[in-house]
Structure 1
Amino acid sequence: MIRIRHALLPVALAAALASVLAGCGAAAGQGAASGGPGATELRYQGNAGQVTFAELAADLGYLGDVRLKWIGNTTSGPQDIQSVATGQIDFGGAFNGAIIKLRAAKAPIKGVIGYYGSDKESFNGYYVKEDSPIRTARDLIGKKIGVNTLGAHHEAVIKEYLKRNGLTPEQIKQVELVVVPPVNTEQAVRQGTLDVGTLGGVLKDKALERGGLRPLFTDVELFGPFTAGAVVFREDFIARDPGTVRTFVAGFAKAVDWAQTRPREEVVAKFEQIIAERGRNEDAGAVRFWKSTGIAGKGGVIAESEFQTWIDWLEREGEIRPGQVKLGDLYTNEFNPYANGSVS
């Protein structure tokens, strides 16, 4: 029987967190780049060929005397926030469900601002070949679906789709999730290696331009427009240097609002400029397909439902215990000026 693979938190990581977190507080306080009082440099991971809102904020001059230190590119949201938890970087972002899982594993992280999501312009779809016999959720029993990582956005959306369409837990276990690099997903579907592929952003747009694929379902169809992920800091960083966090979040929020309100062409041109000037030897072609931020709240303000939805879902799935994670421990809007109306 083919079984869906779970990725709550690898055993090795859980063990590492237990040992690393105990000494991480002291280590994280050494030097301005690691969040000492009055820190002016924040370490982070980027994304090849893309511009983060932190990078946009820096370019627009919204971060004041806070500087960013790029240490490389992340491989996934869960990896990014795990690096925050272990003190390798100062801030990172992931799907809200992944934040809940890591918090359940006793990682002292907290979300401070939303940074990606789905809307009618920007969403993730789950695509099959045009002539595929797969038409319904029940047709997915015994089939393979390609995702970029386990334990994150796509796994949660797929399992919710299956549940809403009447599949039993045992039937859902017969659907296999296969980790595939996003750049290889389209080819794998067309060749039949995968029955369904997860596509979003420029990869989705390019695949649909070539024809021959159709959506089985999309995340925005299931949940409506929603902010899906948040940027996190360690709680000891926040307690030690709230001023830096406030400056960073305020600048990040202004950058989100800038991208939410400017013409698409202006945003794309700015992204192309930033990529060209930072000199990382990367292709900026993908940003030409940018359509929207996908962020529901103005300036990235986090709505309670954007975490509560996934707490309820994870409890129902048995991946966390009821009451194991408290909503108030997961995020705060206190540093976002858009939350209290201080930015018009």
Structure 2
Amino acid sequence: MRCTRRTFTVLAAVALLAATAACGGSDDNGKPSASGSGGTTTVKLGLIPIVDVAPVYLGQKKGFYEKQGLKLAFTQAQGGAAIVPGVVSGQFQFGFSNATSLMVAQSKGVPVKAVANGVGSTGKDGADFGAVVVKKGSPIRTAKDLEGKSVAVNTLKNINDTTVRESVRKAGGDPDKVKFVELAFDQMPAALDKGQIDAAQVVEPALATVKAQGGTVIASNFVDTAPDLTVALYFTAAQYAQQHPDIVKKFAAATEESLTYANSHPDEVRQIVTSYTEIPQATLDKVVLPAWPAEPNRASLDRLAQLGQGDGLFAKTPDLDTLLP
């Protein structure tokens, strides 16, 4: 599902889909499956194939989820805007989504509930895991120069174009003059290299790939938005959280342990990334790892909500007290 204007209609409708599914009583509608003699419960987790989610892959390998009686079944998607409907309709029990997608969903009446932190900015300008990049030799030098230029983001009207707009604004430019186009992260390096786009907002490992091609970072959009920005969270459907509080609690505990472990074991993080992405070792060694705090940064999420409100992303002001863990 692409995050065009039609996405908002779909997100509004998925709340009704979720309610219908919950009444149906089918095993496919949001219910985990039990497997194994030890009583392990398998839960489906919707993810984007980026470095951000390395901790859950690593946590599965290290047995943190098994210790909680859980086994994760991973499914990949292009962005949080596609994962949200999958979670609410019961396709997945949990999902990984940028914070803005969750705010957009909640503002449309879609019943989502964040259950664990996901990933955060390093807070270091020019040394973050996400950035706005241009190809080698590009005349674009600053975010202000993006006026009238095409900038790729993985989903439209979401966290990445909102934060890029803030970078443009801080550089003295007019963000309304930027032309955003939608493209999957793993397709951005090639599109940039071929001149099909003028710039791209990328995250690792695509960022390292662009740098290996000679590309240049012109802005750290997450850092420009807020110090130590909480970029994404793990979430579930509100009704699932009410019906399966024990599983949600176990998932949150295992994920928190995984985040903490990933923060202190960068070499293992880089290795686990090779299990779900295709990236040369030489490039992987240069990947800038994000921060994986155990808790979300509320002040940064308040700022993100404020920017989204200004960009007209929300039908009504998001209720972060209800949305956050």
| TM-score class normalised by the smaller sequence | 0.7 to 0.9
Q: Does 1:314 align with 2:318?
A: no
Q: Is the 8 A contact 2:99 2:233 kept in 1?
A: yes
Q: Is the 8 A contact 2:128 2:220 kept in 1?
A: no
Match of 2:133 in 1: 127
Q: Could you list the structure 1 runs, at least 4 aligned residues long, displaced by more than 6 angstroms after superposition.
A: 36-39
Q: Is the 8 A contact 1:268 1:288 kept in 2?
A: yes
* Post-superposition offset of 1:327: 1.7
Match of 2:64 in 1: 62
Shift of the 82–68 alpha-carbon distance from structure 1 to 2, 3 Å rule, reads: same
Q: Is the 8 A contact 2:135 2:192 kept in 1?
A: yes
Deviations 1:5-27 (A, max 9, x none): 98466254145325313313234
Larger radius of gyration: 1
* Post-superposition offset of 1:30: 3.5
Alignment of 1:67-216 (within 5 A): 67-70=71-74, 72-119=75-122, 120=124, 122-167=128-173, 171-211=174-214, 213-216=215-218
* Post-superposition offset of 1:158: 1.2
Aligned counterpart in structure 2 of residue 217 of structure 1, from 200, 216, 219:
219
Match of 1:17 in 2: 14
Deviations 1:188-240 (A, max 9, x none): 333332111223212222322332x3222112441333221001111111111
Q: Does 1:34 align with 2:67?
A: no
SS in 1 for 2:191: helix
Deviations 1:128-171 (A, max 9, x none): 2343332344432221111222133311111112233444xxx5
Deviations 1:94-153 (A, max 9, x none): 111111000111111111111122214542121223433323444322211112221333
Match of 1:305 in 2: 299
Match of 2:268 in 1: 266
Return the alpha-carbon distance in structure 2 between the equivalents of residues 269 and 144 of structure 1.
34
Return the alpha-carbon distance in structure 2 between the equivalents of residues 198 and 319 of structure 1.
19
Return the alpha-carbon distance in structure 1 between the equivalents of residues 180 and 98 of structure 2.
17
Q: Is the 8 A contact 1:110 1:234 kept in 2?
A: yes
Corresponding letter in the other structure for 2:88: A
Corresponding letter in the other structure for 1:44: L
Structure 1, unaligned runs of 5 or more: 333-344
Match of 1:254 in 2: 257
Shift of the 229–107 alpha-carbon distance from structure 1 to 2, 3 Å rule, reads: same
* Post-superposition offset of 1:48: 4.9
Give aligned-pair identity as a percent.
19
Match of 2:291 in 1: 294
Return the alpha-carbon distance in structure 2 between the equivalents of residues 34 and 114 of structure 1.
23
Deviations 1:219-272 (A, max 9, x none): 24413332210011111111112111111110111011011112x223334555
Structure 2, unaligned runs of 5 or more: none
Q: Is the 8 A contact 1:29 1:35 kept in 2?
A: no
Q: Which stretch has the larger CA shift, 177-186 or 237-246?
A: 177-186
Shift of the 92–27 alpha-carbon distance from structure 1 to 2, 3 Å rule, reads: farther
Cα RMSD (Å): 3.1
Q: Is the 8 A contact 2:140 2:146 kept in 1?
A: yes
Return the alpha-carbon distance in structure 2 between the equivalents of residues 11 and 32 of structure 1.
22
SS in 1 for 2:64: coil
* Post-superposition offset of 1:35: 4.5
TM-score scaled by length of structure 1: 0.79
Shift of the 74–6 alpha-carbon distance from structure 1 to 2, 3 Å rule, reads: closer
* Post-superposition offset of 1:304: 1.5
Corresponding letter in the other structure for 1:67: K
Shift of the 285–48 alpha-carbon distance from structure 1 to 2, 3 Å rule, reads: farther
TM-score scaled by length of structure 2: 0.83
Q: Is the 8 A contact 1:47 1:73 kept in 2?
A: yes
Count of paired positions: 311
Match of 1:44 in 2: 45
Q: Is the 8 A contact 2:30 2:89 kept in 1?
A: no
Shift of the 258–29 alpha-carbon distance from structure 1 to 2, 3 Å rule, reads: farther
Corresponding letter in the other structure for 1:60: K
